[in-house]
């Protein structure tokens, strides 16, 4: 695969397996879900303390 093709693919929005929303392939590969899901997950794991 050419680098330009890979880059174009990296910009391709994919569907988040968790919420079905738009996500980038990078996030799917890194986190397994989109950014909102990742934020929600890290909040539930490490809740903010007041
Ligand atoms: Zn999601």
- Residues 9-48 have pLDDT tens digits of 656 789 999 999 999 888 998 999 999 999 998 888 666 6
pLDDT value of residue 48: 63
- Ligand 1 centroid from CA 12, angstroms: 15
Q: What are phi and psi of 15, to 5 degrees?
A: -90, 130
pLDDT value of residue 2: 74
* pLDDT for residue 6 is more than 60: no
State which residues have CB under 5 angstroms from ligand 1, the bound ion: 16, 18-19, 21, 33-34, 37
Per-residue pLDDT band for 8 (boundaries 50, 70, 90) equals: low
Q: How far apart are CA 25 and CA 36, in angstroms?
A: 14
CA of 3: how far to CAs of 7, 17, 41, in Å? 6, 26, 32
Identify the DSSP state of 18.
Answer: T
pTM: 0.61
pLDDT value of residue 32: 93
């Amino acid at each position: 695969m050419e680098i330009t093709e890979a880059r174009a693919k990296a910009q391709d929005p994919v569907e988040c397996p968790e919420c079905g929303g738009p996500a980038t392939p990078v996030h799917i590969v890194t986190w397994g879900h989109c950014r909102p899901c990742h934020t929600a997950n890290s909040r539930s794991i490490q809740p903010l303390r007041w």
